[in-house]
Every structure is written in C-alpha cells, then in structure tokens.
Amino acid sequence: MDTLLAIASKREVRSYEDRAIGDDLVARILEAGRVTGSSMNSQPWRFVVLASPEVRTAVAETLYAPANLTGAATAIAILVSGGRTADFDAGRAAQSMMLAASNDGVGSCPNGVADRERFAALVGLSEGERAAIILSFGYPARPRRAEDRTPGEWMARARRKPANEVVTCLETTAPP
C-alpha cells in the first residue's frame, strides 16, 4: 500500500467486532514496534501484551477512555524508561504498530493512563519504568477499506487544520 494512503486513511477505532486477532498478527504488530527507530538507537521501550479480557478490563479502569480497551481483541502497553526522548520514541513505535495493524485490517486506538499508581501495580512496572501509551486493537465494527479513496479524498474528509495554519516556511533567521 502507498504510505501516504496508509497514513491518510488511518482512523482511530473504538468499537470492535467480537473476533480474536491471531498470534501471528499480534507478533507482526509487535515487530513493527520493535524495529522502529529511536533516538541514538536507545530503544527505551518494553511492550506488554494485555492478552486476556480480565487483564484488559482491570487495566481499562486506570485509563482515560476505558471503553476503548474493554471491547478490544487485544491491547499493548508501551512502557518506557530513560531520558527526554523516550516518550517521543514510544509515539513512533505506537504509530508503526497501528499502521502495521491497519495494513492487515485491524483497527486501533491510543489511550493514556489516568491512574498511574494502580496501572503500575497491575502491570508490574520495573524500577524507573512508566507507561507511555496503551494501544487497543481489534477488527473494526465498521470496517473501512483504505483503497476506496485516494489519499487526497481521505485528507479532505479528515477534521484537520488546513495546511496554512500548521505549516510555515522559514527562509531567513531572525536577527539576534
């Protein structure tokens, strides 16, 4: 698939079919995260698969949007340790994982941790580790096919700020 089409057609999925994701596909999603680049190749992450519905239900109660997790087929917590670029690197890994899932017809949605203490107790964080992002995955209740539209058509349908509000071309530097 065209990379721009994959990016432009990616939508957050919060409602899933009651269907399992195969272990091979979960492994493929994890590999996409694992091979993502990181600052100075530090790879500051650890990926925890929240495989069982019981685990997802317990962890969901610690998140900002619990329902995103309770209906998912699986979820992955991206934990990080380290310095100032760890959260940025986790975001890169998360986007790689979500795009890899989307390529195989699996939807996803990122989530954040509201109750960090309770989350840490449930997941068993190591010393110096913190939750960066929790990703839910599942087959969308309302599937979409990226190929049904061009990247431009997907972008036109997205509720995003126009380019002239977010893009600036700097041709000279400001005087000191």
Asked if residue 27 is part of any domain, the answer here is: yes
Give pTM, 2 decimals. Answer: 0.91
Backbone angles phi, psi at 137, to 5 degrees: -135, 145
Give residue 112's domain range: 3-166
Asked if residue 176 is part of any domain, the answer here is: no
Asked if residue 171 is part of any domain, the answer here is: no
Measure CA 108 to chain center.
Answer: 7
Asked if residue 172 is part of any domain, the answer here is: no
Q: Could you tell me if 85 and 42 are in contact, meaning their C-beta atoms sit under 8 angstroms apart?
A: yes
The domain tally of the chain equals 1
CA dist 130 and 140 (Å) reads: 29
Predicted pLDDT at 5: 87
CATH number at residue 64: 3.40.109.10
User: Which residue blocks in the chain are alpha helix, DSSP H?
Assistant: 3-9, 23-34, 53-60, 67-70, 86-103, 116-123, 151-157, 163-166
Instruction: Quick: pLDDT tens for 29-44.
Output: 999 999 999 998 888 8
Instruction: Quick: pLDDT tens for 79-104.
Output: 999 888 999 999 999 999 999 999 99
Asked if residue 141 is part of any domain, the answer here is: yes
| Look-up of token digits 């650890």 | 46
Asked if residue 14 is part of any domain, the answer here is: yes
Per-residue pLDDT of the chain (176 residues; tens, 9 = 90+): 689 888 988 988 999 999 999 999 999 999 999 999 999 888 889 999 999 999 999 999 999 999 999 899 999 999 999 888 999 999 999 999 999 999 999 999 999 999 999 999 999 999 999 999 999 999 999 988 888 898 888 888 888 898 899 999 988 887 77
User: What is the chain's mean pLDDT, rounded?
Assistant: 93
The tokens for 163 are 């380019």
Asked if residue 48 is part of any domain, the answer here is: yes
Asked if residue 126 is part of any domain, the answer here is: yes
